[in-house]
Amino acid sequence: MARTTLIAGNWKMNGRLEEAQALGRAVAVGSDAAFAAGVELLVCPPAVLIPPVAAALAGAPVKLGGQDCHAAASGAHTGDVAAEMLADAGCSYVIVGHSERRADHGEDDAVVRAKAEAAHRAGLSAIVCVGETRAERDAGRALEIISGQLAGSLPDGASAANTVVAYEPVWAIGTGLTATPADAQDVHAHIRAELRARFAGETAQAMRILYGGSMKPGNAAELLAQPDIDGGLIGGASLKAEEFLTIAGAAGA
């Protein structure tokens, strides 16, 4: 089954207004080639920058996403953003369970699952992140950790239409380290097997699995050539339009 490659840019806590607008415009200008090649582009700016970035992307085939959401639709949750608010702002995706949220904010699998359910409730696709630390990998527990996170973080109603899984080898984020394409494929294949064991029908085969471990222009083509790597969750390289679009070009090659 053919799966549409998704190249998603996570801008994290980066960008002031003018920078975000300029980056959005630059991605928009280069997006037609990716779209023509059958690649889906997505950018996830900080929440306060979503409206101006949406304006910068107007008319371009680039999707917009949030970096996090609260499980509740409204309420006394100072500083949080509801999935419904993201949808109102023009988002179609939201990242949940990113390793930085798990580490910095103590989010466990139950919290991530509730946020993914909130995304579905609001009509958004949830990008559910899983991945092991260096200590867990060195201890030979990588696949065990990932299996547990998948079981705890994915809602029962997950489908290819509303859920994307992103594999983040935590030890490869911002460290300069990257899993080899073969190592990355092994983990992606394990994730695919876990999806098959849980979900009936074509869901497991159709659900996209992104690689989120420092994908760059120099390694994108080899990573994206692997059979179970369906795109990338891009961090640093997404802050430079040329690099981001080069990765998208590698996906469409």
Which residue out of 107, 136, 168, 243 is catalytically annotated?
168
**Does residue 1 belong to any structural domain of this protein?**
no
**Does residue 145 belong to any structural domain of this protein?**
yes
Q: How many other C-beta atoms are found inside a 10 Å radius of the C-beta of residue 16? A: 9
Round to whole Å and give the CA distance between 37 and 40.
9
By the 8 A CB rule, do 228 and 189 touch?
yes
Domain enclosing residue 214, as ranges: 6-30+38-45+87-173+182-252
Round to whole Å and give the CA distance between 223 and 136.
23
Q: Is 98 a catalytic residue?
A: yes
How many CA atoms lie less than 13 Å away from 85 in the CB half-sphere? 18
Q: Is 120 a catalytic residue?
A: no
Which residue out of 70, 98, 120, 188 is catalytically annotated?
98
> What's the structural domain count of the chain?
1
**Does residue 146 belong to any structural domain of this protein?**
yes
**Does residue 24 belong to any structural domain of this protein?**
yes
CATH number of the domain at 18, please.
3.20.20.70
**Does residue 236 belong to any structural domain of this protein?**
yes
**Does residue 203 belong to any structural domain of this protein?**
yes
Burial of residue 216 (CB within 10 Å: 0-12, 13-18, 19+) is: middle
**Does residue 79 belong to any structural domain of this protein?**
no
**Does residue 240 belong to any structural domain of this protein?**
yes
- Helix pair angle (142-153, 181-198), 10° resolution: 40
Q: Per-residue pLDDT for the chain (253 aa), expressed as one digit of tens each? A: 689 999 999 999 999 999 999 999 999 999 999 999 999 999 999 999 999 999 999 999 999 999 999 999 999 999 999 999 999 999 999 999 999 999 999 999 999 999 999 999 999 999 999 999 988 998 999 999 999 999 999 999 999 999 999 999 988 877 777 789 999 999 999 999 999 999 988 899 999 999 998 899 999 999 999 999 999 999 999 999 999 999 999 987 7
